[in-house]
């Protein structure tokens, strides 16, 4: 979610039956959270301890993260936006709760700090109703689908939760917004033209420009460290049947995210290139601090659709390397702006429950 918070729902369907493998039955951990194969992680720490916690993104000073959670112990019925310092807040005993900055109404997703670290943007459906919008019901054996709620718009709030500005107000879905490291632009996904395409706008919401225009879902975009390029996930169609299916689902406010590859382009949409050709679902990409590699989540090595791990690949599509080794789900990776840490969501260490939690580690090249 960046991205949207959707794929976590897929994990819930099958997670309980995999509680035994979720306790590292095939690897001996050096510490209590890290698999031996995970050589790029050091001093891995768990930050949250219940519910679905995802899309955690750093502040510009690398001291805080914003994220979304639906943890019922915090009084939530669906995802809301929180922020917390990366040090000094222990949530393990269930007595503390991070600061919620969303309204508590509707469903929210895709938060991101703005320059100055005193404001956070996020997408919310609260103008469309105070209740949580209805989830997609998945029929047994049916295709896994993401909802694309038309009531999503992008807002800015301060760290007390006071809403300061609405950045989008066109009809249709506006979400998945992230901010350039240069602090000048925002990239987001919108259906304002009838398709799911990428747009950029200035940090104040002005000067909106469409940067992708090929039919298919373009989303989950992030800027390169120097702010000149964008990496994103996209669906493209090899057959007319697949193309028609995408159009038919989108008319219903739905997307089938089971076949996505990664693409890069310049910030104006030029020099569009396909990065991966792995098959299945490749998503949640983020640039390595060097600007030469991209980390992402993929199920291309899994025997079933829900087995996601982190991988890294060179910007030219070479040198694919597996980074994480959980047996169920690792995703939403983001390097801290200072390049020293990585945060991601995982089903590890959840005791066989359906919980998806946040983990942070020092990054080792």
Q: Which domains does the chain have, with CATH numbers?
A: 7-363 (2.120.10.30)
| Band of pLDDT at residue 31, cut at 50, 70 and 90 | confident
Stretch 252-260: mean pLDDT:
94
100-104, 256-260, 289-293: lowest mean pLDDT where?
256-260
Say if residue 260's pLDDT is above 80.
yes
Distance (Å, rounded) from C-alpha 322 to C-alpha 307?
13
Residue 286, pLDDT score: 98
Q: Please give the structure tokens belonging to residue 359.
A: 């983990």
pLDDT confidence band for 266 (50 / 70 / 90): very high
Across the range 81-86, mean pLDDT stands at 98
Q: What is the pLDDT of residues 141-181, one digit of tens each?
A: 778 899 999 999 999 999 999 999 999 999 999 999 999 99
Amino acid 139: pLDDT: 67
DSSP β-ladder status, 293-298 and 309-314 = antiparallel
- pTM to 2 decimals? 0.92
* Percent of the chain whose pLDDT exceeds 90: 86
Confidence tier at 32 by pLDDT (50, 70, 90): confident
Is pLDDT above 60 for 27? Answer: no
Q: Exposure pattern of 187-223 as b/e (b: 16+ CB <10 Å)?
A: bbbbbeeebbbbbbbebebeebeebbeebbbbbbbbb
Q: Hey, which residues does 124 pair with through a beta bridge?
A: 108, 153
Please give the pLDDT value at position 14.
39
Structure tokens at 319: 């040198």
pLDDT band for position 43 (50/70/90)?
Answer: very high
Pairing of strands 64-69, 80-85: antiparallel
At residue 95 the predicted structure's pLDDT band, cuts being 50, 70 and 90, is: confident
């Amino acid at each position: 979610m960046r991205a949207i918070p959707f794929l976590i729902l897929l994990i819930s369907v099958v997670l309980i039956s995999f509680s035994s493998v979720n306790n590292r039955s095939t690897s001996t951990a050096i510490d209590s959270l890290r698999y031996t194969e995970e050589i790029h992680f050091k001093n891995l720490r768990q930050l949250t301890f219940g519910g679905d916690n995802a899309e955690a993104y750093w502040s510009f000073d690398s001291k805080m993260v914003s994220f979304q959670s639906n943890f019922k112990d915090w009084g939530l019925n669906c995802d809301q936006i929180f922020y917390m310092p990366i040090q000094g807040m222990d949530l393990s005993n269930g007595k503390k709760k991070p600061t919620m900055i969303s309204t508590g109404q509707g469903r929210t997703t895709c938060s991101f700090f703005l320059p100055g670290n005193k404001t956070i943007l996020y997408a919310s459906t609260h103008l469309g109703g105070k209740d949580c919008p209805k989830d997609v019901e998945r029929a047994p054996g049916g295709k896994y689908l993401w909802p694309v709620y038309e009531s999503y718009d992008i807002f800015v709030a301060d760290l007390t939760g006071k809403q300061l500005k609405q950045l989008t107000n066109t009809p249709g879905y506006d979400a998945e917004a992230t901010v350039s490291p240069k602090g000048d632009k925002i990239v987001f996904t919108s259906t304002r033209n009838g398709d799911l395409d990428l747009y950029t706008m200035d940090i104040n919401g002005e000067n909106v420009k469409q940067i992708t225009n090929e039919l298919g879902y373009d989303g989950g975009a992030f800027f390169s460290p120097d702010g000149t390029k964008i990496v994103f996930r996209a669906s493209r169609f090899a057959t007319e049947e697949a193309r028609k299916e995408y159009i038919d689902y989108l008319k219903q406010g739905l997307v089938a995210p089971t076949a996505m590859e990664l693409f890069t382009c310049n910030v104006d949409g030029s020099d569009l290139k396909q990065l991966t050709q792995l098959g299945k679902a490749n998503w949640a990409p983020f640039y390595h601090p060097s600007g030469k590699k991209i980390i992402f989540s993929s199920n291309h090595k899994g025997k079933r659709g829900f087995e996601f791990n982190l991988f890294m690949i060179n910007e030219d599509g070479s040198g694919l390397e597996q980074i994480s080794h959980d047996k169920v789900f690792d995703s939403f990776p983001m390097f801290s702006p200072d390049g020293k840490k990585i945060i991601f969501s995982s089903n590890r260490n959840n005791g066989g429950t359906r919980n998806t939690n946040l983990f942070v580690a020092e990054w080792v090249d």
